[in-house]
Every structure is written in structure tokens, then in C-alpha cells.
Amino acid sequence: MRISVVGTGYVGLVSGVCLASLGHDVICVDKKTEIVNKINNFISPIFEPKLEEMLEKVIKLKKLHATTDISWAVKNSEITIIAVGTPFKDGAIDLSYIKESAKEIGMQLAGKNEYHVVCVKSTVVPGTTDTIVRTAIEEASGKKIGGFGLAMNPEFLREGCAVDDFMMPDRIVIGAFDDQSFHVMAKVYNTVFDDPIIRTNLRTAEMIKYTSNALLANLISFSNDISNICESIGGIDAIEVFKGLIQDKRIVVKTKGEAVFPGLTQYLKPGCGFGGSCFPKDVKALVTHSTAHAYYPKILEAVLAINEQQPSKMVEKLEKLIGDVQNKKIAVLGVAFKPETDDIRESPAIKIIKILLEKGATVFACDPKAINSAAKELESEFLVLTNDYQEVLKDAEGVLLITPWESFIRIKPEEFSRLMKKPVIVDGRRVYDKLEMESHGLIYTGIGI
């Protein structure tokens, strides 16, 4: 099929490249010429494993092209996917990019006789597609719904493995205004994937996305709440608590003596909080949206409150071991909000670095991919950003592990001892073995101890 994708951010570019690799003819649209030029020259503007290689392949096969010309893109496609950003701004989700895109698409549909489906893939609060998007298209095109199709197809892409998530989906949700809209969108997937398509109305599809992210955020904050209780009581390691929890037969599946743990259990672990472009923004947006409809979601408000306090707990644990951090070199391992991405949006590491700098520490931070992104967010004469973890550890009086990149997990205890002035480790992701660290003379603590 001929598909145009408006927006080449994380969702738009991954979706466009993957759809092209499935055999569709894809046109990616972005307002920024420099981004379009990068894409057409095989350069991905974002870091995501496998993406750049796939991008080069589909462009060489002439299955994907990027342009700034939305008119040409819409007129030469059967489906237009809206994948623009929906940031959280001034206490609510900002739908201005959605509305603007819908209006521009509608203007192109005014002179187009061929039936065209507009599909929202951006994460939007329930009621957006059938009100804001529909109205903008109708007003700009002069057509009524039915003369064009309208669908909502949420994405479930995890940064760091987004390509695999798209190519091997665990679910395909299509919210559709009518049968014709649904059948056109179903053709995008049902010739490729065997997974059943979940058909819903537009608002339900929007809500499925929010509910998915809200559940995972709940599990993370629940884990941190339990971990904080363990710390308050003392003599309890939260890691052991959760090991015991997930053996419950209502959680684990045991077949012939072998345990199979659902993917959800990876969120049941103490840590320094969630970040990224989805969980914080989406939970906040859902709270605000539900409040506007006279329902006050107490659990989700608590999820956000717990997450907000976790980064400061890392600094507090460090100060208990080394005292005041002022004028001390503190090492931070990890800047991205999770491994295998350069995304620093809402990253606990950024919050932790800011706290350390405010307290007068000299901070050396390391990340394999996110240093350039961090440099745009953080600026201080007392901050050094590098991808060399040995430079970060050298003569440090404490280290905070924030992002569990594999290269950090592999650092040997003796290397910490050799490089650091004072070998104090605060493990924000509980990736190191406490007994092994202590057996090498390291002072070790972590979230949930």
C-alpha cells in the first residue's frame, strides 16, 4: 500500500521504516529540511538498534522517501499516519501538532477524489481522534467523515527494541470510525502478521495505549514503594522480596519444573524511577484528562509522586556514606533513561546530576550514546560528560549507577577499587552483586537495601 507518515520522530521514523521493510511504499514527512536530508542520505536522526541499517536498505530499494512536501505525500498515498509529538506542556497534553497536522492533511484531501484514510498513531487522550482530528479534517477539506476514513492505531514500541516490537507485535489495535476505515487499515497488517487484530472504536484504541503505559508505571512505582518500606524497616533486601513474590503461581508459569516469568515481572524490581518520552508524559496526561472529566485518579497520582522522589533518594544514600558531596568528584554511570537509546527525556540521571551540582559536587557522567543529548540539557563548569567510564571513575569519591548499560554491568569490582579515590557504589538498578562487591573492599548500597 501507499502510506505517508507525518512526523519523523521516534514513532514516525520507526513505523515508516518498518512499514517500508514490509513492502509498503512509504513517504515520510517532516518540516525540517535537515532531518529530511539525513533520512534520504541513510542517516537516522535518532539512535535505535537496527534502525539505520533498515533505513538504508528500504531507501535503496526505493520503498521509502522523505520530504518536506506534505501536499505531495498525501496526494501520492492511500493512508496518512499522524505520528507527531504530543508533549506534556503547561499541565496538560499539547495537541497543537496533532491539530495542525490534521488541518494540513485536510487541505490536501480537498482536491483529492480517491478515498483516503487518516490514521492517528501519536499517543493522544481519549476523544482526540473523533473530535479534534475529525473536525480539523472536515473543516479544511470540506468533506464529511465517510468521504474520508478515520482510524487510531496506537504504537507499543519500547525504546531500545522498537524495531523488533514493530516487526514482531504482540498485538495490533485498530480503532476505526467505520467498516471501510477499518478494512483499509487492516490491509496494512493482515497480509504480513498472523496475530489477530483487535478492533475497537476510536476512543477505546486511544485508552488502550494509556492503560498499557499506566500499568507498567504502576508496577515500577509499586516496586519502589515496597523498596522504600524495606529500607525504612531495615534488615530487608527488596530484591529478595521480589524474588519471593514472583514465584507466586498466579504470576509465574511452571511447566515440567521450569519457570516461565511473564515480561511484566521485569518491572517488579527496585530502581531510581521511570523516565523517557512515554511513561511520565502519558500518566500525567491521563491524570489531567480524567480530572477534567471530574474523576480524580488517586493511584496514578501516587505513581507520579513516588517516581518524583526516587532520584533524590540516590543522592541521599550517597551522602549517608560519604557525607557532604560539596567539592567532591562524583561519578554517574548512565545518562539515558534506559539502555540502548540516546533519549534523556525525563531521565532520572538528569535529575540526579542537577541535584548533585546544586549541592556543590563536581560531576563526571558517562554514557555510550546520550552524551550529546545531555550536553544540550545540562551546562555547568562543574560537569564533565564523556563516554569513557574509566575517566569518570578515576579519583571519584562515589559512583551512582543509573542506566544499566551492559558495558557498565561488566565493570569488575577490582576496577572500581583501582580507579576510585573512595570506592563507594550506589546501585540505582541493582545490577551488581552486593557480596562480590563487598568482598573486594567496596562500600556498596543500592535502592531497596
Q: 305: closest CA among 232, 222, 236, 212?
A: 222
Q: What cell does 62 get? A: 526505493
- Closest by alpha carbon to 371, among 342, 337, 407, 338? 342
Stretch (H or E) spanning 243: helix 238-245
**What gap in Å lies between CA 252 and CA 240, rounded to an integer?**
16
Q: What share of the chain is helix, strand, coil (3-state, %, to 5)?
A: 45, 15, 40
Q: How far is CA 135 from CA 124, 139, 174, 211, 217, in A?
A: 15, 6, 20, 26, 33
CA 50 to chain centre: 17
Three cell numbers, residue 179: 467498516
Query: What's the chain's Rg over C-alpha atoms?
Result: 24
The DSSP secondary-structure symbol of 196 reads: P
Asked if 394 contacts 415 with a C-beta cutoff of 8 angstroms, the reply is no
Distance CA 370, CA 340 (A): 10
Beta carbons of 138 and 130 less than 8 angstroms apart: no
Contact partners, residue 206, CB within 8 Å, separation at least 6:
124, 125, 126, 127, 128, 129, 152, 154, 175
Catalytic residue among 119, 272, 278, 366: 278
Burial (CB count <10 Å: 0-12, 13-18, 19+), residue 213: buried
Q: If we measure between CA atoms, which residue out of 340, 320, 289, 336 comes closest to residue 165?
A: 340
Whether 398 and 424 have beta carbons less than 8 Å apart is answered as yes
CA-nearest of 29, 28, 20 to 1 is 20
Contact 129, 175 (CB under 8 A): yes
Expressed in angstroms, the distance from the first to the final Cα of the chain is 54
Task: Tell me the three state secondary structure of residue 149.
Answer: strand
Q: Give yes or no: 230 in active site.
A: no
User: Which residue's C-alpha cell is 493522544?
Assistant: 124
Active site residues: 278
